[in-house]
């Protein structure tokens, strides 16, 4: 678990999230704009605010393979921009271990191919 601090308090993520391009990447969410992802959670952009601790259903695609999962809304923060939108931080609840490992491997390869600038 990370112990770095953020503007909102101590960082509690178990793994670093990897940004995904607006045009897509090796991990995507059906019907949502994926901002970043880790094997344990993700942030999506939403035009609507969501209630913290709500449990939602998502279809996640990893290299084209789709899996239905549940995720808990960990945070909901307004995003800057010309149109109203929110960053929704989600914690995966029932991610199958093989899908979690597939995400981990994909993100390692993606990060190596697209190093941070």
Helix, strand, coil percentages in the chain from 3-state DSSP, rounded to 5: 15, 45, 45
Task: Provide the pLDDT for residue 24.
Answer: 85
17-61 pLDDT per residue, tens: 899 998 889 999 998 999 999 999 999 999 999 999 999 999 999
DSSP notation for 20-38: --TT--SEEETTBEEEEE-
Tell me the pTM.
0.84
Cα dihedral: 24, 99, 5, 113 (round 10): -50
Q: Residue 7: is its pLDDT beyond 80?
A: no
Name which of 47, 116, 52, 114 is nearest 81 in CA terms: 47
Spatial distance between the Cα atoms of 41 and 32, rounded to a whole number of angstroms: 14
Q: Is the pLDDT of residue 3 over 60?
A: no
Least confident span in 4-18, 53-67, 76-90: 4-18
Region 60-89: what's the mean pLDDT?
Answer: 94
């Amino acid at each position: 678990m990370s112990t770095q601090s953020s503007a909102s308090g101590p960082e509690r993520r178990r793994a670093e999230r990897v940004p995904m391009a607006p045009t897509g990447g090796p991990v995507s969410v059906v019907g949502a704009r994926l901002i970043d992802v880790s094997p344990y959670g993700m942030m999506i952009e939403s035009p609507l605010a969501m209630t913290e601790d709500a449990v939602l259903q998502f279809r996640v695609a990893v290299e084209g393979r789709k899996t239905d999962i549940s995720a808990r809304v960990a945070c909901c923060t307004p995003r800057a921009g010309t149109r109203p939108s929110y960053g929704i931080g989600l914690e995966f609840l029932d991610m199958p271990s093989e899908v979690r490992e597939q995400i981990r491997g994909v993100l390692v390869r993606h990060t190596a191919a697209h190093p941070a600038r």
